[in-house]
């Protein structure tokens, strides 16, 4: 074995290039990578957004081929696992070693922008088997096993299941489910208050609440999955070079993590479950699955808006109706639908007895703020959207002159909609003083995130100045807008939670 080890080591030192092959969900990727040797482990760098790096995250089992022309050994075939390097000391050591081996330019690996945004990653290929493939095909290969590097069957099974779960969490873009959780919580708290004031506290049904929440999340998941699939078929996400965790889709198709048809069928399955839950809730409300009730119309409209946001042949998002669809679906439809289901002990499916004014008014600022989340995300998406004819309102309002994009008009609308949202909250507080059946003065606490909005606007204005600078590097500047994207999501979430708290306080006190 020592002779074999010396032979492998000598061969690995002859060259610094390998062909590495990764695979995920039947989608294969092969790339030539330069490497440095750390014992029998091979270390290489890659952009974390490359398919190779993306597939390694969810399936670390790889195969590498190091080829030779020495007349004796044709290639080293290496099977093993790739592990991202995470410790800062190891990153610095490998960083310097790769630069000393001239496997990357210093300007690239030392780029402050790439370092700040964690674009570059370092990976270790830990071998479980190395086969020396002889030049003469009649000879048997020499094989070196590394049993100590093989994970346990139990550990591998658990890690595989965890990675699969993480993959689908990414595919459905679960962090954005706050867009569903907020309006459903708001509608539920207002419904609880109406039951409380009617002396029907015991009629509150937690089972119905959880069904409404699960149905809403499934509808949201179906919408995100459909959006990914049809933005793939239009090539929108393929040509989008400014994608980030907040825009450009989940990238599971583009990264070779899931086949497109699986994303499509997952969307269909999500909507099917949503419809199933909705029909059951309609039976609770009306007495039969297809019974006449407001819920069945709200549910149908909500699913239609989600599915047809990018689904052929309607593609609402491509026709300038996407922003309105999002505001309507994640605002009034979810708030009113939740409220209607949870107050059935009071209304008995009779619209004349339904107090819809309070939940409708409460849903307006939530609707505007969720629309703004998508609105500001469309700034980075604009070049790709414009190329494939996705005529969002950001695309329609922006001015394109000599390949220069002027964002002033869509950003002005971003400011105006924020002002309208918080102005409406203030108006709700005033209404609450004089008409408590329509609102509550406690909604004033929902103005607390306004300073964050002010900060986001200031950051956006600074970004516009940088963008309009003729000397600006516009390949990197879209990422400088990310703090505005994050702030807009935070404003929607915290404002929605504070509105929910306000209506609870309005009932409790």
| Same-domain status, 130 and 214 | no
- How many angstroms from the chain centroid is the CA of residue 50? 17
Mean pLDDT of 16-35: 95
The two tokens of residue 319 are: 């026709």
| pLDDT band, very low/low/confident/very high, at 138 (cuts 50, 70, 90) | low
Bond into 319 cis (ω within 30) = no
pLDDT for 472: 83
| Same-domain status, 356 and 212 | yes
| pLDDT band, very low/low/confident/very high, at 139 (cuts 50, 70, 90) | confident
Which of 337, 230, 325 lies closest to 281 in space, CA to CA? 337
| Same-domain status, 130 and 222 | no
| Same-domain status, 309 and 405 | yes
Bridging pattern class, strands 73-84 and 61-67: antiparallel
Give the span between the Cα atoms of 429 and 444, in whole angstroms. 6
At residue 249's C-alpha, the angle toward residues 247 and 252, to 5°, is 140
Distances (CA, A) of 301 to 152, 333, 387, 490: 50, 8, 30, 27
CB 186 within 8 A of CB 363: yes
CATH of the domain at 59: 2.30.110.10
In angstroms, what is the C-alpha Rg of the chain?
28
Bridging pattern class, strands 142-145 and 120-134: antiparallel
193 lies in which domain range?
177-508
pLDDT for 177: 97
**Burial of 293 per CB tally in 10 Å (0-12, 13-18, 19+):** buried
Task: Give domain status of residue 184, yes or no.
Answer: yes
Task: Give domain status of residue 166, yes or no.
Answer: no
Mean pLDDT of 381-393: 94
The two tokens of residue 340 are: 């209607």
Return the minimum-mean-pLDDT range out of 49-63, 156-170, 205-219, 398-412. Answer: 398-412
Looking at residue 150, the DSSP 8-state letter turns out to be S
| Owner of token pair 């002010």 | 454
| Same-domain status, 494 and 366 | yes
| Same-domain status, 297 and 363 | yes
Half-sphere exposure of 201 (CA within 13 A, CB side): 5
pLDDT for 98: 96
Task: Give domain status of residue 168, yes or no.
Answer: no
Q: What is the mean pLDDT of the chain?
A: 95
Task: Give domain status of residue 169, yes or no.
Answer: no
Mean pLDDT of 184-204: 96
| pLDDT band, very low/low/confident/very high, at 73 (cuts 50, 70, 90) | confident
Task: Give domain status of residue 165, yes or no.
Answer: no
Residue 70 in this model has a pLDDT that exceeds 80: no
| Owner of token pair 């993590």 | 257
CB 162 within 8 A of CB 168: no
| Same-domain status, 54 and 147 | yes
| Same-domain status, 307 and 375 | yes
Give the span between the Cα atoms of 275 and 281, in whole angstroms. 10
Give the span between the Cα atoms of 167 and 57, in whole angstroms. 9
Percent of the chain scored above 70 by pLDDT?
A: 100
pLDDT for 297: 95
Distances (CA, A) of 289 to 277, 278, 295, 456: 10, 9, 11, 46
Domain count across the chain: 2
Residue 135 in this model has a pLDDT that exceeds 70: yes
Mean pLDDT of 167-187: 97
Mean pLDDT of 424-450: 97
Cβ atoms within 10 Å, residue 437: 12
- pLDDT tens, position by position, 246-257: 899 999 999 999
pLDDT for 196: 95
CB 258 within 8 A of CB 252: yes
Distances (CA, A) of 419 to 67, 114, 155, 415: 63, 35, 52, 6
Task: Give domain status of residue 163, yes or no.
Answer: no
Return the minimum-mean-pLDDT range out of 253-257, 399-403, 429-433, 491-495. Answer: 399-403
Instruction: List strand residue ranges (DSSP E) for 359-504, in order.
Output: 399-401, 404-406
| Same-domain status, 232 and 374 | yes
Task: Give domain status of residue 37, yes or no.
Answer: yes
Q: Which of 72-81, 465-474, 484-493 has the highest mean pLDDT?
A: 484-493
| Same-domain status, 274 and 418 | yes
Give the span between the Cα atoms of 372 and 418, in whole angstroms. 8
| Same-domain status, 221 and 126 | no
* DSSP helix/strand/coil, 80: strand
Mean pLDDT of 348-369: 97
Pick the last residue of a domain from 116, 151, 186.
Answer: 151
| Same-domain status, 91 and 240 | no
| pLDDT band, very low/low/confident/very high, at 83 (cuts 50, 70, 90) | very high
Task: Give domain status of residue 171, yes or no.
Answer: no
């Amino acid at each position: 074995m020592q002779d074999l080890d010396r032979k492998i080591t000598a061969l690995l030192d002859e060259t610094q290039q390998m062909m590495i092959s990764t695979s995920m969900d039947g989608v294969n990727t092969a790339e030539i990578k330069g490497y440095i040797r750390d014992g029998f482990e091979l270390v290489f760098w890659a952009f974390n957004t490359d398919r190779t790096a993306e597939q390694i995250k969810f399936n670390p089992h790889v195969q590498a081929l190091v080829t030779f022309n020495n007349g004796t050994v044709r290639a080293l075939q290496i099977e093993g696992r790739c592990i991202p390097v995470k410790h800062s000391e190891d990153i610095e050591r490998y960083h310097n070693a790769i630069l000393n081996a001239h496997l990357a330019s210093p300007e690239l690996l030392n780029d402050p922008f790439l370092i700040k945004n964690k674009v570059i990653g370092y990976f270790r290929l830990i071998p479980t088997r190395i086969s020396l493939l002889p030049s003469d095909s009649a000879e048997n290969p020499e094989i070196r096993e590394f049993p100590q590097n093989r994970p346990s069957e139990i550990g591998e099974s658990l890690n595989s299941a965890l990675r699969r779960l993480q993959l689908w969490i990414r595919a459905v873009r679960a962090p954005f489910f706050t867009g569903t959780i907020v309006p459903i919580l708001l509608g539920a708290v207002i419904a609880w208050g109406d039951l409380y004031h009617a002396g029907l506290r015991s009629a509150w049904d937690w089972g119905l609440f959880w069904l409404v929440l699960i149905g809403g999340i499934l509808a949201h998941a179906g919408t995100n999955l459909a959006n990914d699939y049809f933005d793939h078929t239009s090539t929108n996400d393929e040509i989008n070079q400014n994608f980030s965790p907040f825009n450009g889709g989940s990238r599971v198709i583009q990264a070779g993590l899931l086949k497109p048809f699986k994303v499509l069928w997952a969307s269909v399955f999500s909507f099917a479950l949503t419809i199933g839950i909705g029909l059951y809730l309609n039976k609770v409300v009306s007495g039969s699955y297809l019974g006449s009730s407001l819920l069945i119309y709200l549910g149908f409209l909500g699913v239609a808006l989600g599915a047809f946001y990018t689904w052929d042949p309607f593609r609402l998002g491509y026709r300038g109706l996407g922003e309105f669809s999002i505001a309507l679906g994640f605002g009034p439809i979810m708030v009113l639908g939740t409220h209607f289901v949870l107050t059935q002990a009071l209304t008995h499916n009779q619209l004349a007895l339904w107090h819809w004014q309070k939940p409708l008014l409460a849903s307006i600022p939530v609707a505007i703020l969720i629309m703004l989340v998508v609105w500001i995300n469309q700034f980075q998406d604009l070049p790709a959207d414009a190329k494939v004819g996705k005529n969002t309102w950001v695309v329609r309002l922006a001015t394109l002159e000599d390949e220069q994009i002027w964002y002033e008009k869509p950003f002005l609308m971003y400011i105006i909609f924020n002002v309208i949202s918080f102005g409406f909250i203030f108006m709700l507080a005033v209404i609450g003083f004089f008409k408590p059946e329509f609102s509550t003065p406690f909604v004033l606490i929902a103005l607390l995130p306004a300073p964050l909005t002010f900060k986001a606007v200031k950051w956006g204005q600074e970004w516009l100045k940088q963008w309009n600078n003729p000397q600006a590097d516009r390949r990197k500047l879209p990422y400088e807008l990310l703090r505005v994207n994050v702030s807009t999501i935070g404003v929607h979430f915290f404002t929605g939670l504070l509105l929910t708290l306000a209506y609870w306080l309005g009932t409790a006190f």
